[in-house]
Structures are given as structure tokens and as C-alpha cells.
Amino acid sequence: MTWILYSLMGAVFLAACNSIFRVNPWGMPLYVLITCTLPLTIGIQWGFASAMQTAPSFLAAWFVGTGFSAMAGGLASVFIFGEPLHFLQGLGVALILGGAYCLIR
């Protein structure tokens, strides 16, 4: 079950990297921003690649990673940017995670 933690780590790093690019808190030029987020990008790739290697099936890792990415992005939108969370967004995440649960069983 460590592949689930790898998927979660990749999703959190993905949400953090996208949030930094969206906010650009220090007004940095793009090349500096890309250089600063390079460790996050490596963490994203390592997390999702490790999840794919250790998961029982490709589809399970794919759906769990997609669900975690949607949740992390939605939570970042709500808590960092103050955007409202709509019912259909939550329903989509629930359907993705429900499908992943059915694949894992």
C-alpha cells in the first residue's frame, strides 16, 4: 500500500507547483520560477513513477493519482485562492476514488 502514499506525495507536489506558478508571490521571471520549482517537479515525477511501479495494476495507480490530484488541486483552490468548491467537483472526486476502490479490491 506504499504506492498510495507515493500517489499522494506526487499529487501534493503537483498542487504546490501549480499554486506557485499561479500566485508567483515574488513577481519572479518565468525562468527563475521554473528553476525554483524544479525540486517539486522532480518530486512529482518520482512520486507518480514510484506509485506506478509498486501498484497492483496500472489503472489503480492511475485512478488513485488522478483522484488525489483533483483533491489536492481543489483544496488548494479553496484554501489558498478562496474559490468556492462546487458540488460537481466534489462528486467527480468521489466518483474517481470510488472507481479506484473498485479496482483495488
pLDDT of 51:
95
Check: CB of residue 50 under 8 Å from CB of residue 6.
yes
CB atoms within 10 A of CB 90: 13
* Ordered DSSP codes for 13-77: HHHHHHHHHHH-TT---HHHHHHHTHHHHHHHHHHHHHHHHHSSSHHHHHHHHHHHHHHHHHHHH
Q: Largest Cα–Cα distance in the chain?
A: 47
Write out the three cell numbers for 76.
Answer: 488548494
* CA 21/CA 17 separation, integer angstroms: 6
pLDDT of 57:
87
pLDDT of 59:
86
Successive 10-residue mean pLDDT values, the chain, 105 residues: 92 92 86 91 94 90 88 89 87 84 80
Residue located via cell numbers 518530486: 43
Check: CB of residue 15 under 8 Å from CB of residue 41.
no
Kindly report the pTM of this predicted structure: 0.83
pLDDT of 43:
94
